[in-house]
Amino acid sequence: MHLSEKAVDPPGEARADLDIFLDYARRMDFRNRDGAPLIDWTTPEQAYAAWQRCSAGRPCDYTAITYERLRGGSGIQWGGERLYTDGVFNTDPGYCETYGQDLSTGAEFTAEQYRAKQPAGRAFLPAADYQPSPEVPSEEYPLLLTTGRTVYQFHTRTKTGRAPELNAAAPDVWVELHPQDAARHGIAEGDLVGIASPRGAVEARARLGGIRPGVVFVPFHYGYFDVDPARRRPRAANEMTVTAWDPVSKQPLFKVAAVRIAKLAGSDD
């Protein structure tokens, strides 16, 4: 855990996130059981203190992690060196945070079902039969698309895209291909490639490399906020990804989609 303190005041009319949330709580007129305002704090440290009270006695108890300790070093490892050294896990039915879910559907288990397993501090390691991803390569879309990051950019580049050195290091989208897949489509290093899934398509310059044959990689950092609308070309990787998520973790299915590719222009065009 780290404490990130304010570095600069918000510029112009901008407001700190916390102030926006507090304003929202005030306008919603949230009240506690005594009819007093639910939120009785205003500073980040007061907000943290409220969270510490909230978490007291629960598996995520923050009461021992004070501002003083957080400022003392370079952060605090949750739970110390090792968790569960006594072999007792937070699975007691009266203390646990969830009764668990079926991994394939997200179906919630009931308190009775959970108690019947007699958890008593034992850990659970649920297993699930293998199931293919909702979208797998087909004749029409024979390649598997996975999306990800480059070290120079963060998320949709709203910060790193404005840092000249970082942006210059990775200024635009690209597509990574295995040389065999590229050769099959007449694609060479630097060619402009069209990549299409059943939902959408992007254009990107080819980089040939050590990626697994049959798999193509497109970084998801590149969108349209910093592109002149007149010069806009489709480049956002999530034009292609499936709009769905894992039923338990709710992780979006950004890592697996089926696509086809074609050469659009040479490296000099």
Partner 1 sequence: MHLAHYLGLLHRAQLARADAFRQVADAHGAEPDIDHLCRQQAKRCDDHAARLEPFARRYAEKAPEEPERLHSELFRGTRTGGIGLLRDLQDLYLMTAECDICWTVVGQAAQGARDRDLLDVVTRCEGETAIQLAWLRSRMKQAAPQALVVAD
User: Given the rule CB under 8 A, which residues bind partner 1?
Assistant: 101-102, 104-109, 131, 134, 243-245, 247
CB contact set of 241 (below 8 Å; sequence gap of 6+): 145, 147, 197, 199, 252, 253, 254, 257
Query: CA 7 to CA 1: how far, in whole Å?
Result: 18
Q: How far is the CB of 242 from partner 1 (least distance, A)?
A: 8
The 10 Å Cβ neighbour count of residue 197 is 20
Closer Cβ to partner 1, 205 or 255, answer by number: 255
Q: How far is the CB of 240 from partner 1 (least distance, A)?
A: 16
Which position has the token pair 């969830």? 98
Contact 176, 242 (CB under 8 A): no
State whether residue 180 is helix, strand or coil. helix
Closer Cβ to partner 1, 93 or 247, answer by number: 247
Query: CA 66 to CA 170: how far, in whole Å?
Result: 39
Q: How far is the CB of 254 from partner 1 (least distance, A)?
A: 13
Question: If we measure between CA atoms, which residue out of 269, 217, 214, 209 comes closest to residue 240?
Answer: 217
CA 241, distance to chain mean position in Å, is 14
Q: How far is the CB of 134 from partner 1 (least distance, A)?
A: 4
Q: How far is the CB of 93 from partner 1 (least distance, A)?
A: 18
Closer Cβ to partner 1, 106 or 148, answer by number: 106
Q: How far is the CB of 235 from partner 1 (least distance, A)?
A: 23
Closer Cβ to partner 1, 107 or 262, answer by number: 107
Closer Cβ to partner 1, 199 or 263, answer by number: 199
Closer Cβ to partner 1, 185 or 199, answer by number: 199
Residues in the chain: 269
The 10 Å Cβ neighbour count of residue 223 is 18
Query: CA 2 to CA 41: how far, in whole Å?
Result: 21
